[in-house]
Amino acid sequence: MKILVPVKRVVDANVSVRVKADESGVELGNVKMAMNPFCEIAVEEAIRLREKGLADEVVLVSAGSTKSEETLRTGLAMGADRGILIEAEGPLEPLAVARLLEAVVGNESPELVVMGKQAVDDDNNQTGQMLAGLLDWPIATFISSIEINGDEVVAACEVDNGIETLKLKLPSLVTADLRLNEPRYASLPNIMKAKKKPVDKTTPAELGVDVTPHLEVIKVAQPPSRKAGVLVTSAEELIEKLRNEAQVI
């Protein structure tokens, strides 16, 4: 079985994001970038499935600037077998990414796609669902565990009122949640080996996909600072303030 894992290059989760002076977006110059944390979890789970003998190959795919190859190399150092880079400058909307991945799935014919539930830069949580719709594949989102039994996937999905267990027929798609696993650290020997692993490069045009944006960002602004709280001396005073001063949102 072949597993395809889409990964995205984002601002490192430990970096404080700064808005550009002209409010056209966030500052990316001289900012540490890394693999999206949920994508990292997806890579780890795919590698674990291969280590269990349930998969033969783990293929990574990333869409973005040429620097996204660094993100692929990170996943290859974790243990993935090879990578595919779709070189595309400028913003890529979720539907455009889903269509690019649909084309890659058509070329690679994986039995399972494992991807992060969302990217931490835009938090759209759309690409996985859109890709499953385009492929007409069953999907399990926000999974915290996964088992493969023959041609069936059993996934535990985190929902509002607890855990929901789904059974899917392969080929299928799952999106990884935070509690699925803890990604491994790449060892130095594996980092060196990753430099020699193959990364195929292509473009949206070669895949026959139009990635022209359909949305326009008008303004990006920092959220307003929180105002200082007020200490109350009794429950009665709290109720009085809630009744007379609280803003209805």
Task: Specify if 240 maps to a domain.
Answer: no
Task: Specify if 10 maps to a domain.
Answer: yes
Helix (H, G, I), strand (E, B) or coil at 45: helix
Give the whole-angstrom CA distance, residue 115 versus residue 99: 15
Q: Which of 157, 199, 172 is nearest to 113 (CA)?
A: 172
* Six token digits for residue 198: 């193959």
Rounded to 10 degrees, the C-alpha dihedral 94/170/209/220 comes to: 10
pLDDT at 246: 65
Among the ranges given (19-33, 35-49, 94-108, 122-136), the one the predictor scored with the smallest mean pLDDT: 19-33
Q: Does the pLDDT value for residue 11 go beyond 60?
A: yes
pLDDT at 247: 59
Torsions phi, psi of 100, nearest 5?
-65, -45
Residues 104-142 pLDDT 10s? 999 999 999 999 999 999 899 999 999 999 999 999 999
Q: Which domain holds residue 192?
A: 2-224
Residue matched to tokens 């991807």? 115
- Strand pairing category for 2-6 and 112-116: parallel
Residues 81-95 pLDDT 10s? 999 999 998 889 999
Task: Specify if 246 maps to a domain.
Answer: no
Give the whole-angstrom CA distance, residue 220 versus residue 43: 31
Number of domains present in the structure of the chain = 1
Task: Specify if 239 maps to a domain.
Answer: no
CATH number of the CATH domain containing 127: 3.40.50.620
pLDDT at 103: 98
Task: Specify if 67 maps to a domain.
Answer: yes
Residues 146-202 pLDDT 10s? 999 999 999 999 999 899 999 999 999 999 999 999 999 999 999 999 999 999 999
Task: Specify if 249 maps to a domain.
Answer: no
* Six token digits for residue 117: 């539930």
Task: Specify if 232 maps to a domain.
Answer: no
Task: Specify if 229 maps to a domain.
Answer: no
The H or E element spanning position 130 is: helix 127-135
Under a CB-based contact definition with an 8 Å cutoff, are residues 237 and 245 in contact?
no
Number of H helices, E strands in the chain: 7, 11
